[in-house]
Amino acid sequence: MKILNQTYVVSGDVMKKSIFQLMLILLLLIVLWYGKSNFESSKEALVLWFETLVPSMLCVMVLVRVIFAYGGLALIAKPFAFFLAKPLNMSRKSFVYVMAMLLLGFPAGAAFINEEVKKGSLHQKEGERLLYACSFATPGFIILTLGNAVFHDIKIGLFLFAIQFISGLLLLFITRKQPIDAKPVGNRQEPVFARVLAQAIKDSGITLYMMGGYLMLCMSCIPLITQLLPELLELPLTVISEFSSGCIKLASLPLSDRSLTLLIAMLLSFGGFCVHMQIMCMSEAIAPNYRKYLCYRILQVLLSALLILSVQAILY
């Protein structure tokens, strides 16, 4: 009976592998068949990456890493940690990682935490908790791109940013069973600024490069796939596949500011499947479970929606 069960398991694995191979071959054929559409979508993705994501993220990513190396990020985190660290079952020193993920955004925050796990500053389980709970879009994109460019009101951008932070804190509270007690390791001497800056630019550049690659793949393939699906599914799939272009897509719809704020807050909490793939790729030392990660994103969507609706009910 044991041998028979093992045979079924092996057969199932072979079948899954064959199905996956066929799906990839089918996707390749679709991309080749719709070459012109793929070319146009890739150009659109490149423009979005180069004209929106890079300007809104690069400087922040580099500065956050440099400030962290010199201990400045701990000063920013200190007043928050004084009130929040104990209820969240974290050491005050550990709260600096929450701040780093908030400022770096996804997936740069995930890549940063992955580096800290590799160095031994964080245990794998600690990094996993941070990854599940602290999934934020960058402040530059939320406050500048959405606040100024989409809503033409920076206050709405700040409001959306605050909703993301609060929903992340709620997830940290839910996961407080797993303590976080950072133990920094490495050279305690004063770092050389030129080296720190060069490393920060290199790490940020690699992260942005990976983001651009995933963005182009996602925005090139999704439109081709949606052509084969019912028209009713085209808009939802397009929106949840890539969050930055999804936000722009939502902004083009005839929606009230209240409805648009709610939907964008929910989308920011979900992150989009493109972001999910990037985070899974950049977190090999943490080795997160995707199903669990997806459940936390859905939970954050619900928390953000509840927060937005509560505020809107009070104000209106």
What is the CA 36 to chain-centroid distance, rounded?
30
3-state secondary structure at position 302: helix
Tokens coding 92 = 């005050």
3-state secondary structure at position 265: helix
Cβ–Cβ under 8 Å, residues 260 and 250:
yes
Beta-bridge partners for 90: 180
Cβ–Cβ under 8 Å, residues 267 and 239:
yes
Q: How far is CA 45 from CA 136, 141, 211, 251, in A?
A: 21, 16, 11, 17
- Give the model confidence (pLDDT) of 174-229 as tens digits: 999 999 987 655 445 667 888 889 988 998 888 888 888 888 888 788 777 777 77
Domain map (residue ranges) of the chain: 1-33, 35-315
pLDDT in the model for residue 54: 83
139-176 as b/e, with b when 16 or more CB fall inside 10 Å?
A: bbbbbbbbbeebbeeeebbebbbebbbebbbbbbeebb
Cβ–Cβ under 8 Å, residues 245 and 219:
yes
Cβ–Cβ under 8 Å, residues 285 and 131:
no
Q: How far apart are CA 234 and CA 238, in angstroms?
A: 6
In tens digits, what is the pLDDT along the chain, a chain of 316 residues?
A: 555 455 555 566 677 778 878 887 887 887 778 777 778 878 888 887 888 778 877 888 899 889 988 888 889 899 999 999 999 999 998 999 999 999 998 888 999 999 999 988 899 999 999 999 999 998 888 988 888 888 888 999 999 999 999 999 999 999 999 999 876 554 456 678 888 899 889 988 888 888 888 888 887 887 777 777 777 788 888 889 888 888 888 988 898 889 999 999 999 999 989 899 989 988 999 999 999 999 999 999 999 999 999 998 888 7
pTM: 0.84
Beta-bridge partners for 180: 90
pLDDT in the model for residue 248: 85
Q: How far apart are CA 287 and CA 30, in angstroms?
A: 32
